[in-house]
Structure 1
Amino acid sequence: MVSRRGTKSKTPGSKRTSANPPSRKQFNPSLHRFQERYEQKEFQAKPHGIPVRVLSFMGVTVLAMSMYSGYLYASYQREVSKAQSLDVPRDVSDRYNSTAPTFDAEVELSEKAMRLGKKRGDLIRLARGDVLEVSCGTGRNLEYYDLGERRGTDDQGHAAVIGCRSLTFVDLSPQMVDITREKFQAANPEFTHVAFRAQDAGAVTVEAPARVRDLAGAGKDASDHRAYYDTIVQTMGLCSMADPVGTLRHLGEITEPERGRILLLEHGRSHYDWLNRILDNLAPLHADKHGCWWNRDIGAIVEESGLEVVEVKRWHFGTTWRYVLRPKILCGEKK
């Protein structure tokens, strides 16, 4: 139905709308301050995120660590003062004569922590042919040798002669050589191509059971019949030698010139100056007690020896060194 004014009339059920919106609730400052005080009290009443017992334990732990650190630093300073007052000779190899009976027990824990057993095994498994181990100590490498020369395949799957035909163990300490002999004979009574000698590694000679190489068949002078070792092993020995550079040079002269290898696992200077300072400060004390100059630069020794580097690896902040070396043969040089 249309009204007289031309607009639709409101139906009985239509919803009446207001032209003015509803008024907003007025802000009450007093009520707002009350709410803030209430929320603050509620927050203070709640417990902290970290229990009091935990906080107390953390405080005691920090205090104990601080005290222990202070003790270690004071002990380190005393050891440094003691070390610097010592007059230790360069050649400390005679210490091993007295430490031989207890040597294995002294180094067992540290070698396990550093996983040196695995590193020894990985290196010794490269040995083949007639093998010489110098600075053999108490025979900590014995279990890793592959005894018996035979045809097989190398790590790349190529046909090769693998295994050890003979073993010769040399150390300057007769007491340590005796321990190595006892261990080897107890573990390998059937292997007879083995020799044990108390001798300076810098003057070791090639003797039985190593074979003599007939170099005439390799295009050399027919009168040049010389004996070489196929592999020479030394682990943790350069640190105790009076002349490590000269010793390495000599070992290179008795290594088979074409396929022979010198395998080294040594410890010495680190990648880091702060650690080298610690090694330097305590070196005299360590050498006097254990017969080992643990701060020698193994890389510099190898470089000065003139041997060719086939492989080098380092672990334990750079203090553990692994080298595979070979004699460096100049063009036209006659061995």
Structure 2
Amino acid sequence: MNTTRLGRASLRAVTPTIPSRGVQSKAPRPKKPTTKPPPTRKQFNPELKRFQERFEAKEAQSKPNGGIPPRVLTFLGISALTISTYCGYLYASYQRQVSKGQALDLPTDVSDRYNTTAPTFDADVELSEKAMRLGSKRADLVRMARGDVLEVSCGTGRNLEYYDLGERRGLDSTDRLGVIGCRSLTFVDLSPQMVAITKEKFEALRPDFKRVAFRAQDAGSVSVELKGLRGSTGSKEGEYYDTIVQTMGLCSMPDPVGTLRHLGEITEPKRGRILLLEHGRSHYDWLNRILDNLAPTHADRHGCWWNRDIGAIVRESGLEIVEEKRWHLGTTWRYVLKPRQN
């Protein structure tokens, strides 16, 4: 009996107590450690830091700034600075030219300037005429010339290549059957130097055409001299020209109204035409003010009053207007005129 109890006691001692389901065990549970191990300190790597800084800088450059890439912003900034600087330069130059013009005391007739500018005239106007496409406008006008043709203020012969030489029957500019082409050509300019350049150009361009004359003469007093130019056509000599051409000439004449009146007197009354391509005042007052302010210095340098009212000159001349066109803000004028029938 005692032995049995001792055995049972020994068995309890070695057998762990298992709590029953739903019964809380009184044995204390082991507590979890509350302290965390200290974090491992990272070693400082300067190379890695520099790499990160370069990477972050590159990322910042690649990201758009308000939708516009930095390179575009830089380009726009430089462009704006350049344009503003150039506009400032133009304004300063404009003010200098205005001040200089106010101090000038010029005569109305400044055509003597062409004697000195003749050698460089073509080079001086080439760029501006190309930009304004004046070559095509010259061609459209001059190709209308027919019969015995007089070109006044011929300058350095900038119209030579557009003449249709050789009189014949065909369709004219109005698609009517008639005489087309030039029977003869007479070139007149007040500057002997410019007439010489025109003659040299023409002889190199059309050496086979012999019915041509060159005269240094004032357009306001030019006479009809066709002897030896018409050939055996049966036409009456010494009376009228069939076509008179003038391009960019009214600006340099001391009496443009009187000159046009005289040209109307030597133009064939029925079918004769006066063809004009001129430059002068604009449609717009702001541009006219600029032309007026710079007119004295421009006339002193180039012999040209570029602020003349071409329309008023034509109306005062008494010639009849067949056609009128304007381009370039109204500063380029084209006229087809004829003598007014009484």
Q: TM-score when scaled to structure 1?
A: 0.79
Q: Which residue of 2 aligns with 1:31?
A: none
Identify if the C-alpha distance between structure 1 residues 307 and 213 changes in structure 2 by more than 3 Å, giving closer, same or farther: farther
SS at match of 2:140: helix
Residue 53 of structure 1: CA displacement? 2.9
Q: Which residue of 2 aligns with 1:269?
A: 281
Residue 61 of structure 1: CA displacement? 2.3
Separation of aligned partners in 2, 1:281 and 1:254: 37
Map residues 1-335 of structure 1 onto 2, 5 A cutoff: 48-209=66-227, 214=236, 227-330=239-342
Separation of aligned partners in 2, 1:295 and 1:47: 50
Unaligned runs of 5+ in 1: 1-44, 215-224, 331-335
Separation of aligned partners in 1, 2:294 and 2:336: 29
Separation of aligned partners in 1, 2:96 and 2:183: 51
Unaligned runs of 5+ in 2: 1-62
Separation of aligned partners in 2, 1:46 and 1:195: 71
Can you list the C-alpha shifts for 1:88-147, whole angstroms capped at 9, x where unaligned? 110011000111111111111111111111000000000000000000001000000001
Residue 226 of structure 1: CA displacement? 5.8
Residue 84 of structure 1: CA displacement? 1.1
Residue 329 of structure 1: CA displacement? 1.0
What amino acid is aligned across from residue 290 of structure 1 in structure 2?
H
Separation of aligned partners in 1, 2:179 and 2:255: 34
Separation of aligned partners in 1, 2:64 and 2:212: 79
Residue 46 of structure 1: CA displacement? 8.2
Preserved contact between residue 154 and residue 162 of structure 1 (Cα < 8 Å): yes
Identify if the C-alpha distance between structure 1 residues 208 and 66 changes in structure 2 by more than 3 Å, giving closer, same or farther: same
Separation of aligned partners in 2, 1:48 and 1:288: 54
Preserved contact between residue 148 and residue 163 of structure 1 (Cα < 8 Å): yes
Aligned length: 276
Identify if the C-alpha distance between structure 1 residues 197 and 226 changes in structure 2 by more than 3 Å, giving closer, same or farther: closer
Residue 55 of structure 1: CA displacement? 2.1
Q: Which residue of 1 aligns with 2:57?
A: none
What amino acid is aligned across from residue 138 of structure 2 in structure 1?
R
% identity of equivalent residues: 77
Residue 213 of structure 1: CA displacement? 5.6
Residue 58 of structure 1: CA displacement? 1.9
Indicate the RMSD between aligned Cα atoms, in angstroms. Answer: 1.6
Deviates more, 1:238-247 or 1:203-212: 203-212
Residue 72 of structure 1: CA displacement? 1.5
What amino acid is aligned across from residue 272 of structure 1 in structure 2?
Y
What amino acid is aligned across from residue 78 of structure 1 in structure 2?
R
Identify if the C-alpha distance between structure 1 residues 57 and 258 changes in structure 2 by more than 3 Å, giving closer, same or farther: same
Identify if the C-alpha distance between structure 1 residues 154 and 51 changes in structure 2 by more than 3 Å, giving closer, same or farther: same
Rg larger in structure: 2
Q: TM-score when scaled to structure 2?
A: 0.78
